A and B are shown apart, each in its own frame.
Chain A
Amino acid sequence: MRARPRFFLAMLLLLVAVAARAENFDVYAFESPEDEARFDRLTHELRCPKCQNQSIADSNAPIAQDLRQRTYELVQQGRSDDEIVAFLKARYGEFITYRPPFNAVTALLWGGPVLLLVLAATVLLVRLRRRAARAAAVARPEDVQAILSRYDDTPPGDRP
């Protein structure tokens, strides 16, 4: 049958078309494996200002591409990690790094969860203590007797 080879060719082309997606395979040549590791770490710790829930390593946005390119250039220039982050922060603000600094403004961000945890634990403890206190408040035998004897019809002499 002659349709067969054409069919397979069509399938092959379809497969290639599906597989040939645009991906973040920018090819950067580094001078050392340490540089490459630094680049990797930095791009994963810098946030894409456009797709704000992705790092610039993961994002497909043009600005992420630009920032990867800039990071690469700075690594090639021999700048330190701190210098590179500072360089980007100077232009894009604190938001660009996934590690917010600890200062007066961000103290609530850092401390908030801990504070809420402490608050919740306190409330829980207080309630447990109260419940324990109520459970421990067992009536004394003589009080029980006094109440019971009020409803007892047997003559006082015959009571146990």
Chain B
Amino acid sequence: MKRVALFALPLLLMLALALLFYSRIGENSEALPTALAGQPLPAFSLPALDGGAMLTEKDLRGPLLINVWASWCPSCYEEHPYLLALAGQGVNIVGLNYKDEANAARGFLAERGSPYRLVIADTEGRLGFDLGVYGAPETFVVDAQGRIRHRIVGVLTPENFAAEAAPLLGDAAASAAPAAGSTP
């Protein structure tokens, strides 16, 4: 009986591992959780993409999504239609134009429409650095108290929005939220 137990142990371990690995199939294993969970937005002062006023963290009143995007980012083209759909549903989305060229960025929005209430032109990626951005697209979820709660790495989809973002945004996500500043 003891011998059976001894051999059963590695088998059980293998089964447990197999289940673990199976459950993770399809998930983005490279996605890192945000180190800023629970913290307020970092201070910054950057121009708006439309060349208007300087924007600071005070202009970003939650709940909202901060979508990190750029005209050089192929996946951003993929996620764009869904962002437009979300904006149409009244979700507050602020764009963080990350390490991009202003004309290219403006061209992108002119051609495809803009889901953003505001677009921050982070040409050097300084705000991106303070947020721990390491690629595009990324979407940060900021709650009604102005705290960063979560980051979604990669393309924003109805699935990951519903599972990871909507619960943190609260009911304000569904209703038309007041604009957090001038539209681009």
Complex: A153 Cα to B36 Cα, angstroms: 92
* Given A49-B134, A123-B6: A93 and B129 interface contact (C-beta under 8 Å): no
Chain B contacts for A123, CB-based, 8 A: 6
B99, B130, B132, most chain A CB atoms within 10 A: B132
Please tell me if A79 contacts chain B, counting CB pairs below 8 Å: no
Interface size on B, residues (CB 8 A): 15
Shortest Cβ distance from A51 into B: residue: B30
Interface size class, chain A: 10 to 19
Whether B135 pairs with A91 at a CB distance below 8 angstroms is: no
Complex: A63 Cα to B129 Cα, angstroms: 9
Whether A91 pairs with B125 at a CB distance below 8 angstroms is: no
Complex: A155 Cα to B76 Cα, angstroms: 102
Shortest Cβ distance from A52 into B: residue: B30
Shortest Cβ distance from B33 into A: residue: A93
Please tell me if B35 contacts chain A, counting CB pairs below 8 Å: yes
Complex: A131 Cα to B154 Cα, angstroms: 57
B126 CB to closest chain A CB, in angstroms? 10
Whether B134 pairs with A50 at a CB distance below 8 angstroms is: yes
Complex: A92 Cα to B125 Cα, angstroms: 14
* Given A52-B30, A123-B6: A91 and B99 interface contact (C-beta under 8 Å): no
Whether B32 pairs with A92 at a CB distance below 8 angstroms is: yes
Residues of A in contact with B (beta carbons under 8 Å apart): 49-50, 52, 62-63, 66, 70, 89-95, 123
8 more CB-based (< 8 A) A-B contacts, given A49-B32, A50-B135, A92-B32: A50-B134, A52-B30, A62-B99, A89-B35, A91-B132, A92-B134, A93-B132, A123-B6
5 smallest CB-CB distances across A and B, nearest first, come from A93-B35, A49-B134, A91-B132, A63-B134, A92-B132
